[in-house]
Structure 1
Amino acid sequence: MSRPFSLSIAVFWAALAWAVAAPAGVTLDGDTCRQVFDNPRAEHIACRTGFRLDEATRAKLESSSFGLISDLACAADLTANRSDVLGRVRAGGDVALPQQEVRCRLTAGGDPVNVRFHLAPVVRIDKKSRRAVDARLGVRDLTGIPEPLATAVAEFLNSEPTLRKSLVGAANDILPNLPNR
């Protein structure tokens, strides 16, 4: 797998797995990205991937939404240029990953509801140690559900404490394997 874009996808999926208390919090669904990532000559990355929540994570989401949302499954068409991501990582500091549109089907009151939002994760990389030290999700522009529920869901995603830890951990798993040049 090519390491430069691996950071982007690892951070992207760690971001989507915002409420994961255990590694089994989400299951990938409909993933076509592996083929693209395995081709180191592919400068333009374009693929589709998705996830479903496990029972414990669904319960946490339901509790956080005051019982209004009981399930969530998401998909995204990921696009980026490999060299852009690598250049950002090499520079260090705040590495803003390419914004992606995420489409989800959530269950609210027993009914399926289609929602969309933009995800723009930012990972802070210490320039000396080349290690990730902080991260944020960057969920915004959530549409498909009325306010104030849209704001509550976005705030839940952006403020979930295990998310930052997951993002930082995913980045630190990838960073040591990136080429130095």
Structure 2
Amino acid sequence: MLKDFLKDKEIILASGSPRRQQFFRELNIPFTTDVRPVKEVYPPSLENEEITDFLAELKAEAFQKEIKLNQILITSDTIVCHKGKALGKPETPEEAKAMLSSLSGHSHEVITSVCFTTSKIKRTLNAKTRVSFKELTRDEIDYYVDNFKPFDKAGGYAIQEWIGLIGITNIEGSYFNVVGLPTHLVYDALLDMGRL
């Protein structure tokens, strides 16, 4: 259905995430990928969705003067917010284990922003999902990080992996947002843009 609305549009997904790319395939959205290096630094005054909105829009700036009339560029960013702190991607096993230890036995928010950019407009949407973990043991945390190496994942974990299967007790909001993309928002936004 969406494919018909977008038949005159070229979708560029600026993400190397295999999870996001899989979502686009499952939504039956034809797309090409174009990933450009961006230094993901944001002003320290920003909080929560302000951070992900800023970073999603920052990633779009790398393409700004190249977007053609029929193209829609999609950029996104995900963070985990816990106790007033934004958790990005851990760089070391120790950092991943520290993140999971802090999330253990608590609830946190996963926030994803998606920026849609054309030659004429820029539109940024975001979604929040509340996720709760049981008390994780040190052995469980060590096993997960050592075997799954979640260094490309905000907060140091992927909900669809082993740690999610054994550790997550409750979710409020979109599951797919936690995996990395609020697919319902992407679908609705592209439907609107296909009508333009």
Short-chain TM bin: 0.3 to 0.5
TM-score w.r.t. length of structure 2: 0.32
User: Which protein is bigger by CA-based radius of gyration?
Assistant: 2
Q: More strand per residue: 1 or 2? A: 1
